[in-house]
Amino acid sequence: FKERVFPEIENFPKVLLIGVTSCDLKAIEILDKVFAEGDFKDPNYSRRKENTIFISIDCQKPYDTCFCTLVGNKPYPSGNFDLNLTEVNDGFVVEVGSERGKELIGNSNLFTNASSDDLEKRDKIRKDVEEKVKEINKEFDFENVKERLRGLYRKEDWENIEDIKNCVQCGSCNFNCPTCVCFLLEDFGKDGEFKKVKVWDACLYPGYARMASGASPRPTIYERYGNRILCKYWYMVENFGILGCTGCGRCISGCIGKIDKRKVISEIGKEKVKNG
């Protein structure tokens, strides 16, 4: 029996990701905290990332579900990329963010130095888009979100939020979220070998955290939905020093029950004040 063994994959293919948004770069920063730092590191995660080149882009047409500014992010990257592209007029302003990025453009005659006019246009576009995202989210309140959520473990803390009743426990918000990290270990036996395989889990599923006896620490959807919110905005901050939400809005756009998490968080804060 071997304890704490991570089978390392020898050869990861080299991958080039083009069009990575600011919220997804932030998600990778969050995943790094979980899988690449601390006492328990996943070497396969780190090696796969090392073999990946990130070419990011500025968001210029935010959806009405985007809320990056509510969680301290911006609709354009500030780091963690190899190259970043900002569309300006009929071309792109390219920003180099790493040595690998320098290598990508170093021997090409496709690039010229950006003019001061190009940079001014880029900065204006960024400012306008950021203001648009703020305008989209002006009715929502995320101020002091961690402190407002602290200690809201009980079903009673969440069951007065009307929209949660619409949750069908499909897991769409989990599997669309770039920062969900919960997993299961499944056992497989074949040809005289025994393997544990790590698979993605979803905290809104009724079977999440269910024990062999059938008991569940969170038997109702209210407790599981509340746990998901607490994980992103409280537990991740406490355990990893970083907010577990990037404001990408995929949990909102993918929700069958039409639940808007921004509204839920705004309301739960009011409920806490109301209940003292």
Tell me the per-residue pLDDT of 210-239, one tens digit each, with 9 for 90 and over. 898 999 999 999 999 999 999 999 999 999
Contacts of 155 (CB under 8 A, 6+ apart): 220, 222, 223, 226
Contact 6, 45 (CB under 8 A): no
pLDDT tens by residue, 27-76: 999 999 999 998 888 888 999 999 999 999 999 999 999 999 999 999 99
Residue with token string 């990025």: 101
Examine residue 9 and state whether it is found in any structural domain, yes or no. no
Q: Phi and psi (nearest 5°) for 56?
A: -100, 170
**pLDDT score for 171:** 95
Mark whether 242 and 271 lie in a shared domain.
yes
Mark whether 178 and 118 lie in a shared domain.
no
Mark whether 257 and 158 lie in a shared domain.
yes
Mark whether 37 and 91 lie in a shared domain.
yes
Residue with token string 């919960």: 182
**pLDDT score for 7:** 66
**pLDDT score for 22:** 98
Mark whether 102 and 196 lie in a shared domain.
no
Mark whether 120 and 173 lie in a shared domain.
no
**pLDDT score for 269:** 67
Examine residue 5 and state whether it is found in any structural domain, yes or no. no
Mark whether 157 and 129 lie in a shared domain.
no
Contact 105, 141 (CB under 8 A): no
Mark whether 97 and 184 lie in a shared domain.
no
Q: What's the pLDDT band for 19 if we cut at 50, 70, 90?
A: very high
Examine residue 8 and state whether it is found in any structural domain, yes or no. no
- Work out whether the CA dihedral 34, 46, 23, 106 comes out positive or negative: positive
pLDDT tens by residue, 166-205: 999 999 999 999 999 999 888 888 788 778 888 999 999 9
pLDDT tens by residue, 70-96: 999 999 999 999 999 999 988 999 999
Q: What's the pLDDT band for 1 if we cut at 50, 70, 90?
A: very low
Domain coverage including residue 266: 145-275
Mark whether 37 and 84 lie in a shared domain.
yes
Question: Distance (Å, rounded) from C-alpha 111 to C-alpha 54?
Answer: 18
Contact 152, 268 (CB under 8 A): yes
Examine residue 6 and state whether it is found in any structural domain, yes or no. no
12 pLDDT above the threshold of 80: yes
**pLDDT score for 188:** 86
Domains held by the chain: number: 2
**pLDDT score for 276:** 52
Domain boundary among the residues 103, 136, 169 is at 136
Question: Distance (Å, rounded) from C-alpha 32 to C-alpha 29?
Answer: 5
Distances in Å between the alpha carbon of 121 and those of 14, 38, 87, 114, 129? 34, 41, 10, 11, 12
pLDDT tens by residue, 136-169: 999 999 999 999 999 898 999 999 899 999 999 9
Domain boundary among the residues 136, 160, 186 is at 136
Residue 93 host element (H or E): strand 91-96
Domain boundary among the residues 118, 136, 154 is at 136
Alpha helices in 51-192 (DSSP H): 99-106, 116-136, 145-149, 172-176
Examine residue 235 and state whether it is found in any structural domain, yes or no. yes
Examine residue 216 and state whether it is found in any structural domain, yes or no. yes
272 pLDDT above the threshold of 70: no
Angle in degrees, CA 148, 153, 156, rounded to 5: 95
274 pLDDT above the threshold of 90: no
The letter for the amino acid at 158 is W
Say how many C-beta atoms besides its own lie within 10 A of residue 269's C-beta.
19
Mark whether 173 and 104 lie in a shared domain.
no
Mark whether 207 and 229 lie in a shared domain.
yes
Examine residue 7 and state whether it is found in any structural domain, yes or no. no
Say how many C-beta atoms besides its own lie within 10 A of residue 100's C-beta.
14
Report the relative pairing of strands 52-57 and 183-190 from DSSP bridges. Answer: unpaired
**pLDDT score for 38:** 83
Mark whether 252 and 165 lie in a shared domain.
yes
**pLDDT score for 4:** 59
Contact 175, 200 (CB under 8 A): yes
Examine residue 10 and state whether it is found in any structural domain, yes or no. no
